[in-house]
Structure 1
């Protein structure tokens, strides 16, 4: 246990929210730094410094107010964000940048730190704000971590794939909870063997604590579930957690076209397998949560919060495909 001060840049929504809790459980005195555009979920238990992480003076003000021993950067989406943070927090005992498995530019199975090529990043991509350049920007931000470590900054990178769990505002996993919970039929693209690495949000938070305790500066670490269910197996896991076992209906390209849909319209579908090798992180003693526990917690939260419906095909399009398949 420690009584050191931790500063979390972000900290009020998803990965940051769980990271704050994990740091507090590890004995850190935690302060979050953000713009205050979202509710502060921790009340008086966690201090907050308001400011914009892209304003250098605001970052320095947060540093001076907290004097953190460690910093976790949950909302760095541009290479400059990490470069400036590594300058402002150059003297901390540990700086962890939440990167992404999307930083990998080569399609390999599995993707390994230091072996699998990262995306290139042009000057234009480095400042772009579209999803198409997300992986490029995360890759270049990782390189900023490596450069900073070469000059003595205790900086590290953590690369998760798609993250699921309570408070997930992206709703990519929640889409499947919504479709399975209480349904008679569920439409699954392809044959259900699509393989994409996921990671439970609390395990990402635990990985952050692990890196702050035992990680090596200048290194990147993949984080992901120990076991990789296929999309069909994820649907089964969700069904078990919901206590609802609908008929799973598989649809190919031709059938999906009846609803003007493609495979890629469905959350978690990816044409080529996306698998991260997590051996490096596991060597530090990190382990992932059992799927039954992780999915049950996710289902409970989705039921409490509800599903906004912004992810995945609309129900009418799915119904058209299901109805056509039923008559075949």
Structure 2
């Protein structure tokens, strides 16, 4: 197959390009050339999608499939106009769902209002999710039988967010480790390599439909026990963390993977069953932890989010003083 990957030089899109090349496909990556190196064995061409598609994008043989991860409606419109006849796999997000308390998936979960114009996606979750809704509709309207996948939290080696890396870095820790919220709070993660492999399979098999691209939901207590098998997890109350100014989800003063409850009960609890039935294969969380730690050790510049060890120790002391 000849596969066009729009991107190909960062995290998920790079993993898709690498997997497609590994399977022997002819892979072309179109990007601005500003966000990292493409994997070996693929062809690259420069395209800033704020501009019309270059002639070299379509001068050669036709593409059998396109994989796009864009969050910008105008970029998706230009790509659809340039390559209208291929099978499309569009990577969206669970942030398209309007109600974070509800884990309902495609066809059931209520979506955010579509934002058809290009706006700053960092302005709010509404902006990011709303533009992704618009991008989904553009693809589904233009390409009969297209696939749309809505990932939750993508993790693994190369993760630029540093969210899961926070826990992978601690994987050999002993002693007390602060665990946020309640051990039965449900979370889910998906390894970037598993998601990339499935996306290539969707392209190969010309699978259509809308799927939540997620790992199996499991209690955060189980997930952290897999990530930190030698540590003693000290569970610290949601209200205490909020009162102490700890940020959820990501960032320098956050505890990654932690989300306030019940406001986010549904965000990391979607049903992985339909995606698994469509060919998604998931590796154990312990394997993702091991490989992510290996990547961190091999790349000292790798980003790790979350609070410092000193901040964690202070929080544990404060929590201990409140709990007999």
TM-based fold match above 0.5: yes
1:80 Cα shift? 2.1
Decide which of 78, 83, 104 is 2:97's aligned counterpart.
104
Q: Which residue of 2 aligns with 1:234?
A: 223
Following the alignment from structure 1 to structure 2, what is the Cα–Cα distance between the partners of residues 109 and 116?
A: 7
Following the alignment from structure 2 to structure 1, what is the Cα–Cα distance between the partners of residues 137 and 243?
A: 45
Q: Which residue of 2 aligns with 1:57?
A: 53
Following the alignment from structure 2 to structure 1, what is the Cα–Cα distance between the partners of residues 163 and 195?
A: 17
Decide which of 47, 64, 75 is 1:69's aligned counterpart.
64
Matches within 5 A, 1:107-186: 107=100, 109-122=102-115, 126-132=118-124, 133-149=127-143, 152=144, 155-182=146-173, 184-186=175-177
Per-residue deviation, residues 264-302 of structure 1 (Å, max 9, x unmatched) = 532112232222223333333332223332332222212
> Contact 1:255/1:321 (CA < 8 Å) preserved in 2?
no
Could you list the structure 1 runs, at least 4 aligned residues long, displaced by more than 6 angstroms after superposition: none
Following the alignment from structure 1 to structure 2, what is the Cα–Cα distance between the partners of residues 292 and 313?
A: 22
Cα RMSD of the aligned pairs, angstroms, is: 2.5
1:65 Cα shift? 4.8
Following the alignment from structure 2 to structure 1, what is the Cα–Cα distance between the partners of residues 317 and 159?
A: 31
Q: What secondary structure is seen at the aligned counterpart in 2 of 1:116?
A: coil
1:256 matches 2:241: yes
Q: What secondary structure is seen at the aligned counterpart in 2 of 1:170?
A: coil
Q: What secondary structure is seen at the aligned counterpart in 1 of 2:173?
A: coil
Per-residue deviation, residues 174-193 of structure 1 (Å, max 9, x unmatched) = 01122444353211221232
Change (3 A) 1:109 1:255: closer
Decide which of 276, 280, 288 is 1:286's aligned counterpart.
280
Q: What secondary structure is seen at the aligned counterpart in 2 of 1:233?
A: helix
Change (3 A) 1:136 1:42: same
Question: Structure 2 unaligned runs (5+)?
Answer: none
1:37 matches 2:30: no
Following the alignment from structure 1 to structure 2, what is the Cα–Cα distance between the partners of residues 89 and 108?
A: 38
> Contact 2:12/2:192 (CA < 8 Å) preserved in 1?
yes
Matches within 5 A, 1:71-90: 71-74=66-69, 76-90=70-84
State TM-score, norm by structure 2: 0.85
> Contact 1:196/1:230 (CA < 8 Å) preserved in 2?
yes
Following the alignment from structure 2 to structure 1, what is the Cα–Cα distance between the partners of residues 242 and 23?
A: 51
**Structure with the higher fraction of residues in strand conformation:** 2
State TM-score, norm by structure 1: 0.85
Following the alignment from structure 1 to structure 2, what is the Cα–Cα distance between the partners of residues 261 and 253?
A: 10
Q: May I ask how many residue pairs the two structures share in their alignment? A: 311
Q: Which residue of 1 aligns with 2:210?
A: 220
Change (3 A) 1:192 1:131: farther
**Structure with the higher fraction of residues in helix conformation:** 1
Following the alignment from structure 1 to structure 2, what is the Cα–Cα distance between the partners of residues 292 and 320?
A: 28
> Contact 2:53/2:82 (CA < 8 Å) preserved in 1?
no
Q: Which residue of 2 aligns with 1:47?
A: 43
Question: Structure 1 unaligned runs (5+)?
Answer: none
Q: Which residue of 2 aligns with 1:267?
A: 256
1:247 matches 2:232: yes
> Contact 2:92/2:148 (CA < 8 Å) preserved in 1?
yes
Q: Which residue of 2 aligns with 1:209?
A: 200
Following the alignment from structure 1 to structure 2, what is the Cα–Cα distance between the partners of residues 107 and 256?
A: 20
Following the alignment from structure 2 to structure 1, what is the Cα–Cα distance between the partners of residues 183 and 204?
A: 39
1:163 Cα shift? 0.3
Q: Which residue of 1 aligns with 2:293?
A: 299
